[in-house]
Chains A and B, each alone.
Chain A
Amino acid sequence: MSEAKYFTTAKKGELLELKQQLNSAKKSEKRDAVKKVIASMTVGKDVSSLFSDVVNCMQTDNLELKKLVYLYLMSYAKTQPDLALMAVNTFVKDCSDPNPLIRALAVRTMGCIRVDRITEYLCDPLRKTLKDDDPYVRKTAAVCVAKLYDIDPELVMEQGFIDALTDLLSDPNGNGRRKRRRRPLGDRRILPQCVPSLHTAGPVFDLNPGTVSKLLTALNECTEWGQVFILDSLALYDPEDDRERQSMCERITPRLQHVNAAVVLSAIKVLMKNIEYLRDTDVKASLYKKLAPPLVTLLSSEAEVQYVALRNINLIVQKKPDILAGHMKVFFVKYNDPVYVKMEKLDIMIRLATPDSIQQVLAELKEYATEVDVDFVRKSVRAIGRCAIKVEGSAQRCVDTLLELIKTKVNYVVQEAIVVIKDIFRKYPNKYESIIATLCENLDTLDEPEAKAAMIWIVGEYAERIDNADELLESFLDNFSEENPLVQLQLLTAIVKLFLKRPTGTQELVQRVLGLATQESDNPDLRDRGYIYWRLLLTDPAAAKSVVLCERPLISEETDLLEPSLLDELICHISSLASVFHKPPNTFIEGRVPGRRVAPAVLFEEEEEQQQPQQQPVDLLGGALDDVKVSTTGFVLPKTLWLDASAGKGLEINGTLARREGHMYMDMTFTNTTAQAMGDFAIQFNKNSFGLAPAAALSVPTLAPSASHDTSLPLNNLGAVQKMDPLPKLQIAVKTSVDVVYFSVMVPFHVLFTEDGKLERGDYLRLWKDIEDSQESISTVHGVTQATDVVLKRLEASNVFSVARRNVNDQELCYMSLKFVNNVVALVELTFTPGSSSVKVAIRSKITDVIRGLQDTLETLLTGGPSASEC
């Protein structure tokens, strides 16, 4: 069967001919015509004018022809929405076809025809096929829900398709599903197909111990791709306790033996994320040990897969260098490896290099430096320099190797070698300067800015040992204006260094370069540097010496490591594109704005959820620090000045509000700044918005002059209530033996949040829907630098409870609830964007008055306040 001929036609009147053939009575002619249409479509010809003729061929019992017509429909339906409606009837009919293949085909295709009016007709067949007897059809329908969700999420919610999906996922042995009992495992195998659809459709694809356990079971029974989906979802899950974490890790490790590299890498992602937090060090070590062999095995995959694996291994060895220690040899470059694989292997070799293996590495690098590919050779030369800097014992050998390479006189090798030798000088000063003479021989062959700059730096730095340093530098001056700025700056500095070291005979040179830099250059950096040197030299040569010739700090060992926070983020993205680019996802994909806001729904109603402890233990040191003021359960702002000594008639009060073990406290420090003793302290609050009142008498002893006393005053909310403006204002009167003083403070809201503020998911959902969108306030908090988990823990400790979390388009959404002491409930939605320190905060509450104060409080809690490190 040769179909290549369909690609060749380019005759005049071709479309007309096709039209005739499409309407032909002969089946074979019809099929040929449709194939021709598809071939034209593929090469980019516009065949949309044939729409109705092609659609007429849809009513056929030939599956192959039907598929081709469907393919055409998917491509052109958008351009011809009216005509596309013609096809609807056939789709609906096909969805009830006795043949499961046709049912599945119809529902799959229908989801891909993204015409608004068609979606209306899609709902009924979709609902039917989701409950189909055939697992293949159900699977296809599950994916179709995701398609529909992307077109119209509200419709999906309205029509209850999410619930239908939940039905598919829930235990098939449950009551009232007699029909499915015959195929109990069939449904579990559909589950992984549903996982990605749920993520797309994901108004919270909620991961909790129950669902996770189901996913782990399904892992054993589904296709390789399903396993990847499941593992990728599990990577987002944070186990609740150590036991669960350990059992999850142990159930995932068998996946490392899977033949599919994607399964292996995704399993490694989950493990890398979790092993770190395990408490049992033996288990930890044995799990880490299991990671090495599969990582090495990945290197026998296809080159492209190898590349992805190597990029990930690069991350893993930065995080845990010892995992692959001793596997250096597998990263040796083969002559026939594609260049991109060679480059990555080289990087990893250097990262794994140790004093023991360095000799072998150097021998390899020397070999690579003679290869054909210029970039690879350059990188190899550079790697030799990195070895020298990383392993001190090898420095001499590295320098020797570099000198040998310089003697080859291969231009780019020489230049690259000079650049790294500069770094070696900076790492080990006064050790290898004897080679300078050899370097100087190659001066005129240099044509790359970086190499030139490096050479000039060397000449300037060691001007006193190079007899003809002035001549060498002068030779560069002639083309000063044409040089790269990098070279210009280096040259300027080098000549000034030379002048300071050897003032005689170099004065003319330094004047010339200063003139060139300040008067003839339009590069502001160069000009500024020129002027600074000039003034320094004019006013205070001694100062100039101490500035220009100061001792330089040694360069650090590993210069190309990723920043730790980025590394941690990328570890969570192992196997994904982010790990290939070594960049956070938002730098290379479009951050899609979610079209509509959807309330968080709960997919798996799991009973275990309720057994979750209401409050997590926060103070790991137990009661050991009880008498220390900072050991609070909640977040406490540092004490601020409440009452100035001048306003307080000599009494100074610093204070803050805190919440400990479910009670509010006012922590204050009283300081007597007068010359007499002060005593008889008492305190009273004015009526306030939350009815706060002292729950005990103030206990402050008589204060001697300039003495101070810390006190903690318990509070309750049984006092008189009056709405204040602003809401958190609290007016306080303190009586002393001198006088009564008045002041007011702002009550930080977080001390008012009660411990029972955690809502059930169902309640949360209901309340969220209850409150109108107009009552929602959205703000953005900047400067949230800590990890999401840390921030959430802090919130939780201050009784802002997390109800659900989910990821949408790489943003992390957290739904939280809180309750004030006066039973006002507020709902909060936080949107974290990886790589950004801004968090979007949306607050919903029936009592809108609290929202403004809440915003401020949440900002404090999110950023950790002025003393983030304390808490």
Chain B
Amino acid sequence: MSVDQHADHDVIKHRHRSEGPQKHIIVFIFSIILTVIAFATVAAGGVNATFTVILLLIMAILQVFMQLGYWMHLKDKGHLMPILFMIFGFFVAGTAVIMALYWVWW
């Protein structure tokens, strides 16, 4: 293909940003903190089980959002299609998980 024939610039936005590592290190530290909270809650034990499950899931989802957004640049402009497809991928994955939790029995 010799010619750029993209109709709208879904994927492409030439943005000249000279970002430093600070932002990513902050995301890293946040990830570590979230992970430590999760591990510490389980290691400490004695916490209400339902509460623990909810807390752990929130920690995991927060961490995943940050990594998808910053490390994989989903929050940057020009990522409409990737965001749509990732959302729907997680949606289908979610239906599979709901299936496993509620509609499989012995």
Whether A and B are associated in the same complex: the answer reads no
